[in-house]
Structure 1
Amino acid sequence: MKKSVWMLIAAASLFTALPSQATQQAAERRDARDVRQDTRQDSRDAKQECREGIVGNADCRQEHRDNKQEGRDAARDIKY
């Protein structure tokens, strides 16, 4: 009888731990997505400003890529 009670308690604690972990992971994913979206918009703006200047288009594209990669790295740091 005692063994079944302990098993029930263990199972109940497992079920209560899973939703909180899922909620935390969901929040981390949302935060990472927000960082990536903000980075994309900032990078687009920077690229547009770059193209309006005297700098060559290839340099602007590379800067755009670098900005986006930095955003991906920041999002990855949030998630993991």
Structure 2
Amino acid sequence: MGNMKCRILGVMLTVALFVYPFIIQHANATERGDQRREARDTRQDTRQDARSTKQDCVTSDDKSNHDCRQDKRQKKQDGRQEARRIKY
């Protein structure tokens, strides 16, 4: 009877050693997916903010179209940087 318990314990330990890496890998993949989703949301929000910034700039006539375009580009670049910081 004791031999049977050792055998069952050995099988359970072997199964656990094979299954554990897959569980950890799945958890890491889920975390990375959440990070990618958050980074994507940040980029999308930044795009909309950049559009609004340019529209406000153009309608106010304070700057040339070139300067308004540069402001929009800079705002989008800042958003990309923020997304990279979140993702990596």
Provide the TM-score with structure 2 as the length reference.
0.81
- Per the alignment, residue 45 of structure 1 pairs with 52
Q: How many angstroms does 1:10 deviate by?
A: 2.5
- Per the alignment, residue 36 of structure 2 pairs with 29
Q: Given the alignment of the two structures, is residue 57 of structure 1 paired with residue 65 of structure 2, yes or no?
A: yes
Question: What's the RMSD between the two structures over aligned residues?
Answer: 1.6
Q: How many residues align?
A: 79
Structure 2 unmatched runs, 5+: 1-6
Once the two structures are superposed, what CA deviation does each residue of 1:36-77 show, in whole Å capped at 9, x if it has no partner?
000000000000000112210000000000000000000000
Structure 1 unmatched runs, 5+: none
- Per the alignment, residue 9 of structure 1 pairs with 16
Q: Given the alignment of the two structures, is residue 70 of structure 1 paired with residue 78 of structure 2, yes or no?
A: yes
1:70 partner letter: D
Give me the whole-angstrom Cα distance separating, in 1, the residues matched to 2:47 and 2:17.
45
Higher relative contact order, chain-length normalized (CA < 8 Å, sep 6+)? 1
Provide the TM-score with structure 1 as the length reference.
0.88
Mark the structure with the bigger radius of gyration. Answer: 2
Q: How many angstroms does 1:9 deviate by?
A: 2.8
